[in-house]
Structures are given as C-alpha cells and as structure tokens.
Structure 1
Amino acid sequence: MRIHQQFRRALQPFRVVLTGYVLGLFILSLSRLALMLWQYDRVAASGDLVELLVLGIRADCIQMGYVTLPLLLILPVFWLRPLRRLGGKLQQIWWVCALTYVTFMEIATPAFILQYDLRPNRLFVEYLTYPQEVLSMLWGGFAEWLLIGAAALLVTVVLLLKLSRRLATSQQHEMSRAPRRAAIFVWPVLLLLMVFGVRSTLDHRPANPAFFAVTGDALVNDLVISSAYSVEYALYSMRHEANAALIYGSASLADIIQKVRQDNYLADKEFPFEAYPTVHYNRASRSYARPKNIVVILEESLGATFVEKLGGINATPELEALSEHGWWFEQLYATGTRSVRGIEAVVTGFLPTPARSVVKLPLSQQGFFTYADLLARQGYFTEFMYGGETHFDNMQRFFVGNGFQSVRGVADIEKPAFIGSWGASDEDLLQSAHARFEQLNGQTQPFFSLVFTSSNHEPFEFPDGRIELYAEPKQRVENAVKYADFALGEFFRKARQSSYWDDTIFLVVADHDTRVYGNELVPVSKFHIPGLILGGSIEPRTINTVTSQIDLLPTVVSLAGVSAWTASLGQDLSDVTQPPANRAMMQFGANFAWLQGHDLAIVTPAEDFTGQLDKQQHRFQADVTAREPLLEVATAHALLPSLLYQQQAYFVPQE
C-alpha cells in the first residue's frame, strides 16, 4: 500500500500532462466511434468495428505523443521552486491548446468527409490560403454544421479551461509534498513509453498512415487515424514532395523509362534527349496553310455523374446535343480529384503523383512543359481566361512562367451580370471569351486559349431565371451543372455563327467529378468524365476505348495541324497508324490506379492489387493471376513523374 502511495506521489508532477494525454485519447476515440457509426455500412463491410477502434487507439497514441513529448522533455526544469508557477501556467496553456486543436480537427471532419470522402488532409491546409473562397463555399454548403461546430468548440474550450485550472491548482498545491527524486526516475520511463507510443512498432521504420491502411476502403482506413494526425503527416510529406513516389518503392529512372517506352504508341518514337527522356517528335495527322486556333473549355466538376449519355442523370442536354457533332469520348477518365490536377493533366500532360499538382510545386514554376509553351514556339498567341481570381491555386504564376503570354481574370470581364463567391458566372466568362476570340481571329497568328469555368462549384451560385431547376432548392449541384451546361450551349450557338468557328478546334472537358467518394481504394466511377472535340473541320466520331485526360491535347494539337516536339506521354488519338492505348491513370490520395482496358492495378504505400474493373458497376474485382505484368507497368508510371519533376527533366529544350 505504501509503495502504491509513493508511486502515485511520484506521478504527481506529471498529473496535468498525463491527464491531458488520456483525455486526448478519449476525445479522439469518442469521435472515431461516432464517425464509424455514421459510416457503419462501409465500416462493417470492410472490417470489425471493435478491431478498428482498438487500432485507432494505437494511432491516437502517436498523435497524442507528438503533442505531449515536447512538454514532457522540458518538464523537470519547472520543478525548480522559482519556475513552478511558470511551469504550471505552461502546462495549462499546453493542455488547453493541444486538446482544442485535436477537438477542432474532429469537429471539422464530417463536413470534409461529405466533400472529399476522406478525413482532412493536405487539401485542408492548402485551402487555408484562400479564406474568402473557402468560407463562402462552407457557408453555402455547410452553414448548419459550421454553427453547430463553432458552438461545440466554444463549449469544449470553456470546459477545458475550467478543468485545466482545477488540475493546475491541485498539482501546484501538492508539488511541495511530491518526492521529486522518485519523479526523476519516473520521468525517463514515461519518456521511453511516449517515444514507443509515437513509433508504435519495433520494425525498421516507424508507423505512418499507410501502416493503418488495413481495409480496401480508403475512407475506413482514414477513420482509423485522427484528423490531426492526417493533416500533420500531410504537412510532413509536403516537405518531401520531390521524392513523393518513393512510397511505391524505388527504381532507377533508366529502368522506369525503358518500361514506359514499351507502350505501343511510343515504341516507334525516337527519344534523342538524354536529359529529357520523355521528349519525342509528334507529327500532325492533318495539315493546313495556317494551323487551327485551339480553345480548351475546362468545365469545373462536370463528371459523368451528370451526363445521361454516360450513365448519369439528365443535367447536360446541351453537351449531349453537341456530342453528335464532334469526337465524343465514352470512357474518358480524369487523373485526379481537384482542379489543379485536371489543369496539370490537360495543359501539361504530366502523370499524376501523390504530391501536390505541379501547378503549385516550386521546381515547375519555370522550364516545365506545357502545351501553351509548345504552341507559343509554333507562333501561337497563348492565353488563360478565368471568371475568378487568377492567383487561386497558383494558376497565374505557373501559367505565366510556362508559356502563357496573357492571363485574364474577373477584372478583365466587362460589366459582368452576375458575380458569385468564385467570380463571374459562366455566361459572363463565355460571352467575354466569345468577344475575345472574334478579336483574336482577326490577327495574323493563330491563338490558343484555356477557358476555365467556375459556376459549378460550391456554394453553387448562378443567376436566377436562366434554367428550369433540376430540383429544389436552387443551390444544389444538379442545378449548378445544368446552368453550366446552359451557358456552354449558349456559347456554342454563338461560336457556330462566328468568324472563328471554321478556323478553330474546341476541346470541352471536365477537370474532375464533384465529391469523389466510394468504398474502394480508388473509386474509378468518380473519375469518369465527359470529353468532346468539335469545330468546323471535325467530323462526328465516338471513341469508346479507355482514354486519359493526358491524351486530349496531343490529339487536338495534331488535329490543328501542328507537328512539334513534346514531353507528354499522352497519345495522339488521331494517328490512325497506331491502335488506341486503351489506358488511363488515376491518383486518389496516396493510391495510384492504372486501368488497361478491363484490367486494373492499384499501387498503394501498403499493398498492391490487380484485377478487373466491372464497367457496368464500376467495381474492382481482385484477381491475383493478372498481377505481375500489369503491376510492373502501373508501378513504372506511378514512379516516373516524381523523378522527372525532381530532376527537372519534363521540358523540351530549345532547338
């Protein structure tokens, strides 16, 4: 009994720290239980609830260890009599701040899951740099949750302040009686236990989020860890983005390039630049006295979900009517789930990585291949047009540094009729684009224009009286899609009567689908997007093989009559001498999917999978018999882009 009392007294100097640690575990476990009950169908289909909760406690020991270790390390300094009061205040501040932080992250989690089907991650951090747009989006889509969350956080802070004061007062009162000599011996034991909790394993490498990826459902894997841990690991990973693909293993660039060049449509190409191993010459399939203008209309969040012709709902009648007049892609897949990933794929042809898009990475702000640079070298005038602020997602800096000669945003649209949270409406943007194209077509040089829409973005704001609503209330995604489609139809009615129609090739494509979700490692169905090439010189055609966003501009540039050196590995689908590649690649968080016809390989940091895609249900069916050849190709394409970025090798050298 006496030993027990002495041990309790020896722990007295650690009372505040240990109470905060245990309470943090309780808060995180309680939140996880609530989230798993909310998503119970998916949790039950993927694993045992109790087992996942216990594994979650292990992950929480890592998180609470991170915030506890720094204070625990310096705690003995504050046992000195002159510093006791300061030490008590410091522990109290730490206790409140640490637990408020983890609580805030858990409160923010449900809204993030509804939007991205994952816990808060790197996107949570990236969006903090755009408070106006993000707050407008949150207030428009999650106003009730924002109010509930703010109230819950306020109550939490008040309770934490009261409890921390009580604990600090009690500890300070009893410190004079605590045997500090015994505490000195307890201190290293606690440190050792805390370090082991953070490491969580005796293996060569410490645990990380991939260590807790124990199911085939990415969201359920995310629920095992905490949101604070997810965001912190994302911040850590952002410091090592040049080597991001190393989570899939390692291989030399030469070996990877050899594997990638075996793709059928690349097999007869020459690659003369050793320092730029993907650069090859692409000869145009058509020839004109003056190359055609090129206009790319990148539609915000317009996935196949909303296109009846692709198995979705009937929200895009204008696009579907236009599809009868051009090249229509039935099996086109986005490379990612964000606008910058879509820009990356369409404008640069760069393969996706687990890192941020190259639009935002430092080594790609100059000297990085884009089709704007390719066309500028061929005498084109190149321009980006956006209805919002062009600095968003670092677009302006990236574009100006890599071949775009002009960037136009909301300030360049004359007297817009409707301005929402994300800028001018699609009608205003496309009317401005139409006037601009009339002006540019009168000049001697052809032009390339990238037009990026924004009306189909939360909080789904668009002018009244323009469409018959798909459903009530007005501010819902189906209505925003229908409005974006209406604006697109209005633009093409004008374009087809314009002076530039016969001289221009248009590409209409989505950047990604909206709210990508699913109980799979990569929800392939939510990467399915519409794509259409049309213009005065384009005859109707349906392309029913698997196609990636990276294949679109190689095809359009060729149809425009431009032969040039390119760094992109996208295929020119207008080249009748080569069969279609029939493949697409998708990045979902840390998971990379390679779809080859019906075969599908998924490369993850924890384990790799192969099988087939049931295209009726868009469901992955595992099949280990297809493993090695398909997985080798997938892994090579997953590893390649990060190595090209790191070595600054994705560029066409000046001739």
Structure 2
Amino acid sequence: MAKLLNSFLKISGFYILVGAIVRIILLFLPITNNSFPEISDYFKIFLLGIVNDLCVSIISFVFFWLYLIFLSDRKFKSPWGSIILIIMLCLLGYLMFFHTIFDDYGKLVSKLLIAFLIIKVISFALLLFFPVIRKSWRYSMYCIIFFLYVYFIIFIAVSEFLFWNEFGVRYNFIAVDYLIYTNEVIGNILESYPVIPMFSVLVLISIIITIFYVKKSKKYFNEFSGFKTKLISSLIYLGLIIGSIYLLKYNQEQENSENEFVNELQSNGLFRFYNAFMDSSLNYDKFYAKIPEKKAIQIIEHEYGMFKDGEIIKDTLPEIKKNVVLVTIESMSSSFLNHFGNKKNLTPNLDKLANDGIFFSNLYATGNRTVRGLEALTLCIPPSPGESLVKRKNTNNLFSTGYLFNKKGYTVQFFYGGYSYFDNMKTFFKGNGYQVIDRNSLAPNEITFANIWGVCDEDIFNKAIKVFDENKKKRKPFFGHIMTVSNHRPFTYPEGKIGNPENEKTREGGIIYTDYAIGGFINEARKHSWFSNTVFIFVADHCASSAGKEDIPLEGYRIPAIIYSPGFIQPEKITKLVSQIDLMPTVLGKLHFSYTSFFYGQDIFSSKYIPRAPIATYQKLGYLKKDIVIVLSPKQKIEQYNFIQNKLEKNKHIDKNILEEAIANYQTISHLIENNSLKIKK
C-alpha cells in the first residue's frame, strides 16, 4: 500500500505541476493573441485545469498500478512460471513473424509492441531462473517505469506546446490522425524540428527528476503486500478512477466561456485527445438544435430546389466537353495573395491567374483540414459534425463530381504527391470512381525531391501532364483532381528554385515554392495540345491557420479560388459570398451540363443562387449569410455573431430565419449521411 500511495503522489504532483506550467506558457504564445481581463477566466483556466489534470493523472496511473499490484513471488512457482513464459514467447512470435493490424498504418506501433514484449520476456525469464536478482531487478524496473512516466509527462507538455503553436487548440482530431499515420507525422516532426538535441535534453531532464524522486524508494521492495491489502487498495483506486471519469465529464460542461482560448486552456490535452479518438462523428439529432423535419426539407427545397429526388439542372445550351483540371492547394490562405492585400509578392503566378480568370474574392472553405476541403469539392455538401466523409467508412458510390464526369464519358483521376492511404484518400476516391495516382505511381526518375508528406509539387504536376498526354491519345475528355503537398510543415522544397534557401523551412518559403510550381505547371501545359480545351480550377483546401478567439474566426476560412481557361473563361472578379461547395457546380454550369443534382452547392451564376457559406470545425457548425454568422454547438447551443468591419461581434438577438436555414442545412445533410441517402441510386 505504501509504495502505491507514494508513487501515486509523486507522479500526480509532478503531472499537475507540469500542467500548470504549460498553461502559463500557452497563455503567452503569439497565437494566443488575446488578454483575459476577467478574474473568472483565470479561475477556470487554473483551478478547473488542476482538477482536470488530477483526474487524468489518477486514470493514467493505471499502468504503474498494474506493475506494482502484480509484484509477487508466487507467479514464479512451478508450473505457472513456465506456462506464463511460453505464452509470452508465442505472442512475441506472432507479432514478429505474422502480419498484424498494427502493420497496416506503418511499422512503428508494431515495432514498439515487439520491443515491449521482448523486454517483458527477458525480464520474466531472468526472474524465473535467477531468483537472487529479483529484488535489485524489480527496483531497477521501478526506476525505469518511473522514468518513462516522467519522460511521457514532459514529452506530452512539449508536444502540446508544438501543437498549440500550430493550431491554437488542445489535441483534437488532427492529433488522432497524427497517432494513426505515424510514418508521415513522425517524419514531419523529424524534418521540422531539431528532434535529436531537443529530446536528448528531455531524456537528461527526465533522468535527473527520476533520480530525485526514486532515490529513497528501494525500501519498498523488501517485502510485498498480501492479497487482502492489494484488494482493498485496488478497490479504493477503482473508486478514484470512476470518480475522476465523472468529474472530467462534469468539468467538460464548464467549458462554456465565450472565449475559446479559455475553454481550451482549462481542459486537459490527453482528455481532449481521448474524446477526439472516440467521437469521429457526432449524431446531429442528439447534440444539436433541430427544427421539424418537414420544415427543414421545405427550407432546403426552397434554397436549393431539391431534396430527396434531386434538382433537375437543365441547360438550354449544348454541353461543352472540355477537360477539367482541379488543383487543390495545401493551406493557401487568401491573406497570402497580393489580391487580398499582401505586399510581399509571395504568389505572383496565382495573382496573374486571378487577373486572367474568374477570381473569387469572397469564398470560404467549409473546414480547417485537407479532407474537409476534398469533401466540399468532391461531394459539394455542407460539413457534418465530426470527421469528413473522406475519412469515414462506407462512403463509396456517393453522388459526386467524379460520378458526374464519369457519367459524361470522362476519364476521372485523382493525383496526390504522398501515399494516398493517408487520410483514407485512396479508399474514398477509388470507391467513388477515380483512378488514384499517388507517390507509388511515380518511377524513381520522376521524383526530383520528396519529404515525408510526398513528392514536391513540381513532380506531381509533371506526372499529371504525362498522364494527361496519355488521356489525350484515348480521345476522351478527362477530369484530373490534383492535391498539392509542398505548402506544409516542414516547408522543404527543391534547392535553387526560389529565393528562400531550403534550410529556412518557413511558411513563406512553402507558399512561394507552391506558387512557383503552379506557374511552371501552367507554362508547361500551354505547350500541350489539350491545354486550349481545358478548364483549370485553383482553390485552397483550407487556410494555413483557423485558430482565434471566436468559435469560427471567418478570416481563418477565407480562401482564394480561380477558374482559368483562356479563350473560354472571360476574366471577372466575383465579390459576392461563395462557398467552397459552390465551385464545382459553377464549373459544371460553365460547361452547360444537364443533370439531376443532389449537391447543396450551386452554380453562382444561376438566377436562383442564394449567397451563403457553411463553415465548421469538428463540433462547431457555422452558417454565414449576409453579415450574420450562426454557430450551432453540441447540447443544442445556438449563438449569433454579426460580421462588422472584418470582426465578429456577438449578438444576443438571434435572426430566426437565418437560424432555421442553418439548422435545415446541417440537419438534413446529417440525416442523408446517416441513412446512406447520398449513395448513387442504381
């Protein structure tokens, strides 16, 4: 009992101390660009934060508890010792020589499990066959486990700092992705930060702290508690775990500040990570405000002219079977372009294309992740609470832009410079009629530069041009969707291409290189016979950052979009409000396609077009119309902001009509998804 209590107090105290230090540091980071004048804000951040950290420390102590509670000599007595050792060896052999589920997303998790099991096998075997070393061995293992706890606590603190510095939030779905896609993410970290020096310092600090805490703990291994004592202490600990779970849930309800940074800071990062891992989607009816289903359908039919049976798009002019190339640009905020006031000349090629095509100056992304942008451009629907449909199961054979182009006789292809298993892109696009061309499709001589996210943008553009040449020989029009990767941390690119040296690894360098690659792509495309018969669309997947004081900071969602086709598309600047989901229906309108539409996105040149933009995080569902933003949150929470002089001001008076439109959009799309009604009806 003594060693359990002593170990728990040391670990929990250290975890709470580190948590408080992290909150103080995060408060003063540049991305947390707001002051907290209310005393109650500090109270919630630190007092509730300490309670949250204590609860998480109680729950996470379970691994240490399991080690300590099973310390005994009885399990080594014959025949149990030999039986346990054989079972452990069989499990180790299975992990080492057979394909397991852990191998599907990279080898790191599998390697860690194998390493852990090897240590356990060696440890158990030594204790089984050499009883004389048991006391010193157990004390050594105790020190190692204590060190791992200390190191993990410090590692999580540093990771939260880095994550907050990039996204302005605690762990969320992005962090879950980072855990699953270990190859890309760990590679990204290795290329972005001085990892070896940084973690060497962490190891050294952890060793010093461990020595300080465990130097007087050897006495706890002179004898072991009996079964009754272990049972009582275990029951007490189990009660503490249950209480901690309920208290964490209760404190989660107190995250109700109007300042999102306050809510984030008072929370615990590991608990946020757990919630994100468990809830990749949210049931709309259970968590969000609703209106009667009949009324919701009436609103959607009035707004979009469709619902269950689709809207009949009948163009009076003949269809134009031009090739279509959609380039989705990684993390290209509107604020990077000269057309939006940037004076650094970061994007001369995009700015020139904006002058020569249809330029959208007031277009908003639906979300803050690549998969959300791909969803908006492919399915042309508002975002639903939780993860993008690109990452969910059973999302094949959906009504999509790819489906329409296939139906019109086009060759349909998706190009991605990385490995398309990432973010489930391969499964999604292949399941919806696209030929997927990713890093695996490039020959070694086609790759001039690559980092952990994939080949550089020039390489994937060059590959696309080769494929388009092959498509041309087949005398079929083609639709090519290209996803870039270079404008992403670690911001590395081929040396000598632009002014910034490669080793600077800056966001501006990534922007300049991506723009350079786009310029090279267009210049090379002009030399090919299919260029004059092609419509190009350039649009960001999302902004570089969407963090802010408000639930949904609008400037973190405004993105550039351009439709370019010399001789076919006349230059024009569109200033009215447009959503990312409207872009492809607008292109289809320019091609005079007739079809039955199940899109929520609309042709903005149609007389029936109603300007509005759905914008969301994973849980907050926003709806922008005129100068009003409605935000729907879990627990049926409703908020309204007025968009005045590029600032959001909270308004306690809710516009009922716009609120009902917002609810109707999200309620109906959620129902369609849940009922598999977006699937193509054969």
TM-score range, shorter chain: 0.7 to 0.9
Structure 1 contact 121–234 (Cα < 8 Å) conserved: yes
1:29 maps to 2:20: yes
CA distance in 2, matches of 1:629, 1:79: 69
1:599 maps to 2:648: no
Deviations 1:88-107 (A, max 9, x none): 99987765555543432212
What letter is aligned with 1:59?
Answer: N
- Specify whether residues 514 and 263 from structure 1 end up closer, same or farther in structure 2 by C-alpha distance, changes over 3 A only: farther
Structure 1 contact 567–651 (Cα < 8 Å) conserved: no
What letter is aligned with 1:543?
Answer: I
- Specify whether residues 208 and 341 from structure 1 end up closer, same or farther in structure 2 by C-alpha distance, changes over 3 A only: farther
Structure 2 contact 297–307 (Cα < 8 Å) conserved: no
- Specify whether residues 72 and 414 from structure 1 end up closer, same or farther in structure 2 by C-alpha distance, changes over 3 A only: closer
Alignment-derived partner of residue 273 in structure 2: 231
CA distance in 1, matches of 2:477, 2:613: 31
Counting only pairs closer than 5 Å after superposition, residues 428-447 of structure 1 correspond to structure 2 as 428-447=459-478
Structure 1 contact 31–106 (Cα < 8 Å) conserved: yes
- Specify whether residues 87 and 262 from structure 1 end up closer, same or farther in structure 2 by C-alpha distance, changes over 3 A only: farther
Alignment-derived partner of residue 126 in structure 2: none
Counting only pairs closer than 5 Å after superposition, residues 367-382 of structure 1 correspond to structure 2 as 367-382=397-412
What letter is aligned with 1:651?
Answer: K
What letter is aligned with 1:587?
Answer: A
What letter is aligned with 1:403?
Answer: G
Q: CA deviation at 1:21?
A: 3.0
CA distance in 2, matches of 1:261, 1:300: 31
Counting only pairs closer than 5 Å after superposition, residues 181-192 of structure 1 correspond to structure 2 as 191-192=238-239
Deviations 1:52-83 (A, max 9, x none): 20010122233123224687699888799989
Alignment-derived partner of residue 157 in structure 2: 106
Structure 1 contact 567–652 (Cα < 8 Å) conserved: no
Structure 1 contact 246–639 (Cα < 8 Å) conserved: yes
Alignment-derived partner of residue 648 in structure 1: 676
CA distance in 2, matches of 1:420, 1:92: 42
Counting only pairs closer than 5 Å after superposition, residues 346-425 of structure 1 correspond to structure 2 as 346-364=377-395, 366-409=396-439, 411-412=441-442, 415-416=445-446, 418-421=448-451, 422-425=453-456
CA distance in 2, matches of 1:520, 1:626: 17
CA distance in 1, matches of 2:254, 2:378: 36
Gaps in structure 2 of 5+ consecutive residues: 77-133
1:258 maps to 2:284: no
1:150 pairs with one of 191, 195, 199: 199
What letter is aligned with 1:20?
Answer: I
- Specify whether residues 54 and 255 from structure 1 end up closer, same or farther in structure 2 by C-alpha distance, changes over 3 A only: farther
- Specify whether residues 190 and 293 from structure 1 end up closer, same or farther in structure 2 by C-alpha distance, changes over 3 A only: closer
1:630 maps to 2:662: no
Match of 2:270, SS? Answer: helix
Structure 1 contact 20–99 (Cα < 8 Å) conserved: yes
Alignment-derived partner of residue 198 in structure 1: 245
Deviations 1:423-452 (A, max 9, x none): 333233323323433442343322111012
1:608 maps to 2:638: yes
- Specify whether residues 639 and 66 from structure 1 end up closer, same or farther in structure 2 by C-alpha distance, changes over 3 A only: farther
Alignment-derived partner of residue 213 in structure 1: 255
Tell me which moved more, 523-532 or 225-234: 225-234
Deviations 1:134-188 (A, max 9, x none): 2343233332xx3464135313542465466556534455877x9977x977875
Structure 1 contact 284–557 (Cα < 8 Å) conserved: no
CA distance in 2, matches of 1:403, 1:179: 62
Structure 2 contact 641–651 (Cα < 8 Å) conserved: yes
Gaps in structure 1 of 5+ consecutive residues: 1-9, 273-278
1:281 pairs with one of 289, 300, 312: 312
What letter is aligned with 2:199?
Answer: A
- Specify whether residues 148 and 409 from structure 1 end up closer, same or farther in structure 2 by C-alpha distance, changes over 3 A only: closer
1:586 maps to 2:615: yes
Structure 2 contact 361–560 (Cα < 8 Å) conserved: yes
Q: CA deviation at 1:623?
A: 1.0
Q: CA deviation at 1:531?
A: 0.4
Match of 1:565, SS? Answer: strand
1:44 maps to 2:36: yes
Structure 2 contact 58–240 (Cα < 8 Å) conserved: no
CA distance in 2, matches of 1:609, 1:271: 29
Deviations 1:365-415 (A, max 9, x none): x22232112211221111112233233322122111111135354633683
What letter is aligned with 1:340?
Answer: V
CA distance in 2, matches of 1:97, 1:406: 42
Q: CA deviation at 1:329?
A: 0.6
1:295 maps to 2:325: yes
CA RMSD of aligned residues (A): 3.5
Match of 2:660, SS? Answer: helix
What letter is aligned with 2:250?
Answer: A
Q: CA deviation at 1:458?
A: 1.9
Match of 1:207, SS? Answer: helix
What letter is aligned with 2:22?
Answer: S
What letter is aligned with 1:198?
Answer: I
- Specify whether residues 386 and 82 from structure 1 end up closer, same or farther in structure 2 by C-alpha distance, changes over 3 A only: closer
Q: CA deviation at 1:45?
A: 5.2
Q: CA deviation at 1:570?
A: 0.6
CA distance in 1, matches of 2:383, 2:307: 24
- Specify whether residues 581 and 93 from structure 1 end up closer, same or farther in structure 2 by C-alpha distance, changes over 3 A only: farther
CA distance in 2, matches of 1:180, 1:271: 64
CA distance in 2, matches of 1:256, 1:335: 24
Structure 2 contact 366–615 (Cα < 8 Å) conserved: yes
1:249 pairs with one of 263, 280, 288: 288
Tell me which moved more, 44-53 or 374-383: 44-53
Structure 2 contact 323–479 (Cα < 8 Å) conserved: yes
Structure 1 contact 383–405 (Cα < 8 Å) conserved: yes
2:51 pairs with one of 58, 79, 84: 58
Q: CA deviation at 1:550?
A: 0.7
Q: CA deviation at 1:24?
A: 2.6
CA distance in 2, matches of 1:41, 1:439: 51
Matched positions, count: 618
CA distance in 1, matches of 2:599, 2:262: 35
Structure 2 contact 382–669 (Cα < 8 Å) conserved: yes
CA distance in 2, matches of 1:77, 1:271: 60
- Specify whether residues 489 and 79 from structure 1 end up closer, same or farther in structure 2 by C-alpha distance, changes over 3 A only: closer
- Specify whether residues 581 and 96 from structure 1 end up closer, same or farther in structure 2 by C-alpha distance, changes over 3 A only: farther
Q: CA deviation at 1:498?
A: 3.9
Structure 1 contact 326–532 (Cα < 8 Å) conserved: yes
CA distance in 2, matches of 1:79, 1:130: 39
CA distance in 2, matches of 1:149, 1:247: 44
Identical aligned residues as a percent: 24
Tell me which moved more, 445-454 or 511-520: 511-520
- Specify whether residues 639 and 13 from structure 1 end up closer, same or farther in structure 2 by C-alpha distance, changes over 3 A only: same
Counting only pairs closer than 5 Å after superposition, residues 528-567 of structure 1 correspond to structure 2 as 528-535=558-565, 536-567=567-598
CA distance in 2, matches of 1:371, 1:121: 30
Q: CA deviation at 1:223?
A: 1.8
2:358 pairs with one of 316, 327, 333: 327
What letter is aligned with 2:36?
Answer: A
Structure 1 contact 334–528 (Cα < 8 Å) conserved: yes
TM-score (norm 2): 0.81
Q: CA deviation at 1:310?
A: 1.8
Match of 1:359, SS? Answer: helix
CA distance in 2, matches of 1:69, 1:428: 49
Match of 2:575, SS? Answer: strand
CA distance in 1, matches of 2:365, 2:630: 16
Alignment-derived partner of residue 349 in structure 2: 318
- Specify whether residues 180 and 132 from structure 1 end up closer, same or farther in structure 2 by C-alpha distance, changes over 3 A only: closer
What letter is aligned with 2:486?
Answer: S
CA distance in 1, matches of 2:668, 2:251: 23
1:457 maps to 2:488: yes
